[in-house]
Amino acid sequence: MLRERIRIRLKAYDHRVLDQSTAEIVDTAKRTGAQVAGPIPLPTIKNKFTTLRSPHVDKKSREQFEIRTHKRLVDILDPTPQTVDALMKLDLPAGVDVEIKAFGKEHK
């Protein structure tokens, strides 16, 4: 017996937009009759950048910036054709990176 699964990874700098997008995906999948595992929060990546405040003097005066990349994981188990169609038509906000993978898993 073949068991299908769709794995969706979402990335964004703003966690509120990311949570809104994951909620939209979960609601769409549940409405079409598929089972949903998640959203699972993955570790946040923090990128730190250090720059000089002044181009000539005050070498010791520096400024630090941080960009946080938030991630979520959603698994859709046993998706129906309606689920796939609804996910393709879904309009997500700008600033959210979506990565979709489909798996077919042998189930004994």
| 20-59 confidence digits (pLDDT tens) | 889 988 888 888 888 888 788 999 999 999 988 887 877 7
Adjacent-strand bridge partners of 6: 76, 102
Q: CA-CA distance, 63 to 79, in Å (whole number)?
A: 49
Whether the CB-CB separation of 34 and 81 falls below 8 Å is answered with: no
Q: CA-CA distance, 68 to 12, in Å (whole number)?
A: 8
Pairing state between β 96-106 and 62-77: unpaired
pLDDT tens digits, 45-104: 999 999 888 878 777 888 999 999 999 998 888 887 788 888 888 888 888 888 888 877
pLDDT at 105: 60
pLDDT at 1: 37
pLDDT at residue 106 is higher than 70: no
